[in-house]
Chains A and B, each alone.
Chain A
């Protein structure tokens, strides 16, 4: 051996292997890019898998129009830096009907502004495989997810119809109407993602680092006012706080944590010592019991 193989080397090699298998087996794959740290790692691994060539598939972003502004700026820079083919999909019908994260419940909002345009986009372009950054350590129902996760017609996920996976073999032969979600980060943990970002010196959205930002406390969660569409409610006080985000999504649905970690090293140090699992920062998951499993059955990631 040239060097001792660390657990990150093993994870990296496994992910590259998965990318290459999927690209070879499926006719028209696409990479679902959500701009966050997991997507950043996903994209980096994809570039490694096909280096020195360009990515042999486009990247796809569902824009709810409620993402943090810094996320969109980061997305566009990434696309330029790595010469990517970007596809952006937005549910215009949802916007026309005024569906927004304030007046609609998280489950309705997610369905209309995320799940529907995702399905519509995949169908429109005829993608038969979509890479996603989901990890098995994220949530209980994901602990049983496959690397090649099959979706029946209508993108429905049926836990009972998933294909057994054995050894390193990946069977990507599709049945009629089937498509597949591919999860190269299946065996990574949140800590690995951060450790890897640090090791590979990857750029991430600055929102992951602490800075003074305008915030309010709502329902016990710390929210950032990213633009004037978010109205301050009676009794709420807008306060500049040193905050950062452990996950990134739509800003009205993404809670911040107070922090002094202004650079990547400090963020990783904080995260590796963190005592709360990351999904607590995502408001949609607390909507109902078994929320994630339900969302997956409906086609959400």
Chain B
């Protein structure tokens, strides 16, 4: 890969706005795209120097703009006369005033080969939800601790949250080594503690690096103070990790977002993003819910047809026969389809200030489906330090709970371990629309719970006759989506009135 022009040496040069440059040579050097991207979560508390660490990374990785550098140089200085790097990270005025980081902040910087997306999350226990939501976007997490204090209960909480939302690679940045006399003994002890901690989780990789964010030791530059450490610097380690979504290994999943049409050319295609695995033209796809299948005729994009589409690619798939497939369906291959879930065992993090209400009206947002929840039952709360689950029927903000969710109708859902994108969900408050909880599916049951004598079945025929009698082309997808939306709302209203309700599922009536 070719180098970018703005490198370290430019730090000290004066501001030259858009100076004329030897154009043709530069274009060749800058036009190539970066070959990868990695999303890095940073977690730890303010006291551990998290904002300073990221600020230092940005500073040393050199694609900061001069006006940003100047602002920092002019600002107040912290220990040792260094600029206050944390000013680069703490965004909102209120937060700057309080000196704490409440919300997740996103930062972007490029090294020679790759885009780094830094997701900065708050460390305080009362912001577990912010950390969990930030972590769900990350490929790797940097857990920051103070070398003087070592691993604390917060570190254990953080590791548990990372594991829950599916982060597979973690780095323990043992910060403030300068204040711990650059002591190898101290570091090795923390490293050993970290090993025994991370062993309990499903991480693929967990390493510890001794750093000093303030002085930059082992951040981007190897430390002169710690010759005993022979491992990579933090930046070097992050650059060595594999890029985001280039792996198309998992089972093929294609959650349908919408149906695209071009009447002039008799074109009808399912639009979506491949969320797992890959697909080729000519392969047979099946809609798990209706069990109907068809062959892939074209994988279309505005830039031309593809012969194959892999994980992360947004495409439109045209089938050789029109299936009555609408938004919410998940296309897969016959040998590995998602379950038609009627109930789920889940782990979720409660995100909203409003606590769990057993009579609340909830919706489950999966990849592209929105399903009425017929029953949400909190079974236990997870103690993030001991990892023990304690039976509970209540759940509030920042709690991590084990919950049983019964769905108002069947939906195509995976376990998080099998296919993360079709095995995760948001729990939505049907009335306010708020995102109540985010969770992962640990077990899927296709068994239809025996409808109790008092369960009201909302049948297809009933809805078609009345509420949905105005809907035309019910088979074209659009009508079906609206049909489902209305069915969902009726189910929610009935449930709010205390009536147990089930929506008749497509597989109950089709073919």
CB contact under 8 A between A6 and B34, given known A1-B308, A166-B438: yes
Q: Nearest Cβ distance between residue A110 and chain B, in whole angstroms?
A: 18
B23 touches A266 (CB 8 A): yes
Q: Please, what's the 1-or-0 string for A13-35, where 1 marks a CB less than 8 Å from any CB in chain B?
A: 11011001101100000000000
Residues of B within 8 A of A186 (CB): 106
* Chain B residues, CB < 8 A from A259: 18, 20
Q: Which residues of B contact A277 (CB under 8 A)?
A: 65, 67-68
Please give 11 more A-B residue pairs, beta carbons under 8 A apart, in addition to A7-B36, A143-B91, A269-B23.
A1-B310, A12-B314, A49-B314, A52-B265, A137-B108, A163-B434, A166-B435, A169-B366, A169-B426, A273-B21, A276-B17
Which residues on the B side are within 8 Å of A173 (C-beta)?
A: 363, 365, 370, 428, 430, 433
Interface residues of B, count at CB 8 A: 100
Task: Render A145-189 as a binary contact track against B, CB cut-off 8 A, 1 for contact.
Answer: 000000000000001001111111101011100100000001101
Of the candidates B27, B68, B136, the one whose C-beta lies within 8 Å of that of A268 is: B27
Residues of A238-287 at the interface with B, using a CB-CB cut-off of 8 Å, are 244, 246, 257-261, 265-266, 268-277, 280
Interfacial chain A residues near B302, Cβ < 8 Å: 47-48, 51-52
Q: Which residues of A contact B33 (CB under 8 A)?
A: 6-9, 195, 199
- Kindly identify which residue among B66, B301, B351, B363 contacts A275, using a CB–CB cutoff of 8 Å: B66
- In angstroms, Cα B430 to Cα A171, docked, is 11
Q: Report yes or no: A175 in contact with B6, Cβ–Cβ below 8 A.
A: no
Interface segment out of the listed B417-425, B451-459, B460-468, B493-501: B417-425
A4 to B31, CA, bound (A): 17
Nearest residue, chain B, Cβ from A262: B23
Question: Which of B130, B245, B307 has a CB less than 8 Å from the CB of A2?
Answer: B307
Interchain CB contact under 8 A, A159 and B314: no
Could you tell me the distance in whole angstroms from the C-beta of B324 to the nearest C-beta in chain A? Answer: 17
**Are A23 and B258 in contact, CB atoms less than 8 angstroms apart?**
yes
Q: Are B257 and A171 in contact (CB-based, < 8 A)? A: no
- Give the interface size bracket for A toward B: 35 or more
A182 to chain B minimum Cβ distance, whole angstroms, is 14
Contacts A7-B36, A141-B92 hold; do A24 and B368 have CB atoms under 8 A apart? yes
State whether the Cβ of A136 lies closer than 8 Å to any Cβ in chain B: yes
Complex A-B, nearest 6 residue pairs according to Cβ-Cβ distance, in ascending order: A173-B433, A6-B33, A164-B133, A16-B314, A51-B302, A269-B26
A7 close to B34 (CB less than 8 A): yes
Report the tally of A-B residue pairs with Cβ distances under 8 A: 242
Instruction: Tell me which residues across on chain B come within 8 A of A6, comparing CB atoms.
Output: 33-36
Cβ-defined contact, B365 with A52, below 8 A: no
**A residues in contact with B92, CB < 8 Å:** 140-141, 144, 159, 293
Is the CB–CB distance between B91 and A1 below 8 Å? no
List B contacts of A174 (CB < 8 A). Answer: 433
Ordered by A's residue number, 20 sampled pairs between the chains whose C-beta atoms are within 8 Å are A5-B312, A16-B314, A48-B302, A49-B314, A136-B106, A142-B91, A143-B91, A144-B103, A164-B351, A167-B136, A171-B428, A173-B370, A199-B33, A257-B17, A268-B31, A269-B23, A270-B23, A272-B26, A277-B68, A293-B93
Residues of A whose CB lies within 8 Å of any CB of B are: 1-2, 4-14, 16-17, 20-21, 23-24, 47-53, 136-137, 140-144, 159, 162-169, 171, 173-175, 178, 186-187, 189, 191, 195, 198-199, 244, 246, 257-261, 265-266, 268-277, 280, 289-290, 293
Do B248 and A1 touch (CB < 8 A)?
yes
User: Cβ of A171 and Cβ of B15 under 8 Å apart?
Assistant: no
Cβ contacts under 8 Å, B106 to chain A: 136-137, 143-144, 186-187
> Chain B, 399-423, contact with A by CB distance < 8 Å: what is the 0/1 string?
0000000000000000000001100
Whether, in the assembled complex, B271 has its beta carbon less than 8 Å from a beta carbon of chain A, the answer is yes
Residues of B within 8 A of A50 (CB): 260, 271
Q: Which of B138-172 contact A (CB under 8 A)?
A: 165
- The answer to whether residues A265 and B27 also contact, given A13-B312, A166-B136, A195-B33 and a CB cut-off of 8 A, is yes
Q: A13, B10: Cβ atoms under 8 Å?
A: no
User: Is B447 on the interface with A (CB-CB < 8 A)?
Assistant: no
Which residues of chain B are within 8 angstroms of A261 by Cβ–Cβ distance?
A: 18, 20, 23
Interface string of B1-35 (1 = CB under 8 A from A): 00011100010010111101101101100110111
Among A141, A167, A269, A275, contact of B424 (Cβ-Cβ < 8 Å): A167
Judge whether A273 and B66 touch: CB under 8 Å: no
Q: State whether A1 touches B18 (Cβ < 8 A).
A: no
Q: Let me know if B108 and A275 touch, CB within 8 A.
A: no
A51–B318 CA distance with the chains assembled, in angstroms:
13
Q: What B residues does A7 contact at CB under 8 A?
A: 33-37, 114-115
Residue of B108, B117, B132 with highest tally of chain A CB at under 10 A = B108
A166/B132 contact (C-beta < 8 A), A144-B103, A275-B16 known:
yes
B210 interface contact, C-beta 8 A? no
Q: Is the CB of A270 within 8 A of B18?
A: yes
Complex contacts, B37 vs chain A, CB 8 Å: 7, 10-11
Q: Which of B72-80, B217-225, B272-280, B375-383 contacts A (4 or more CB under 8 A)?
A: B272-280
Nearest residue (CB) in B for A144 is B103
Contact B258 A175 (CB under 8 A): no
Residues of A within 8 A of B265 (CB): 52
- Residues from chain A with Cβ under 8 Å of B354 in the complex: none
Q: How far is the CA of A243 from the CA of B20 in the complex (A)?
A: 11
Docked complex: B37-72 residues within 8 A CB-CB of A: 37, 65-68
Q: How far is the CA of A16 from the CA of B302 in the complex (A)?
A: 11
Choice from A24, A162, A189 contacting B327 with Cβ under 8 Å: A24
Closest A-chain residue to B30, C-beta based? A272
With both chains docked as a complex, state the minimum distance between the C-beta of B277 and any C-beta of chain A, in angstroms: 11
> Considering only CB atoms, which chain A residue lies closest to B15 in the complex?
A275
Contact mask for chain B residues 160-188; partner A; CB cutoff 8 A; 1 contact, 0 none? 00000100000000000000000000000
Tell me how far the C-beta of B193 lies from the nearest C-beta in chain A, rounded to whole angstroms: 30
Contact of A52 among B30, B245, B260, B275 (CB under 8 A): B260
Is B124 in the interface zone, CB < 8 Å from A?
no
Q: Give complex CA distance A16, B258 in Å.
A: 12
Closest to A264 in B: B27
Q: Which residues on the B side are within 8 Å of A272 (C-beta)?
A: 4-6, 26, 30
- Chain B nearest CB from A210 CB (Å) reads 9
Complex-state Cα separation, A140 to B314, whole angstroms: 30
Q: Are A48 and B301 neighbours in the complex by a CB distance under 8 Å?
A: yes
CA distance A134 to B258 in the complex (A): 25
- Chain A residue nearest to B118 (CB atoms) is A143
Q: Which of B26, B91, B435 contacts A163 (CB 8 A)?
A: B435
The CA-CA distance from A168 to B93 in the complex, in Å, is: 28
| Cα-based distance from A89 to B397 in the complex (angstroms) | 42
- CA of A100 to CA of B304 in the docked complex: distance in angstroms? 47
A222 to chain B: closest CB distance in Å? 9
Looking at the complex, which one of A11, A167, A246 makes contact with B137 (CB distance below 8 Å)? A167
- Does B306 sit at the interface, judged by CB under 8 A? yes
Considering the complex, give the chain B residue whose CB is closest to the CB of A259: B18
Does B213 touch A at the CB level, under 8 Å? no
- Which of A20, A191, A280 interacts with B272 by CB under 8 Å? A20
With beta carbons under 8 angstroms apart, the residue of B267, B271, B308 that contacts A20 is: B271
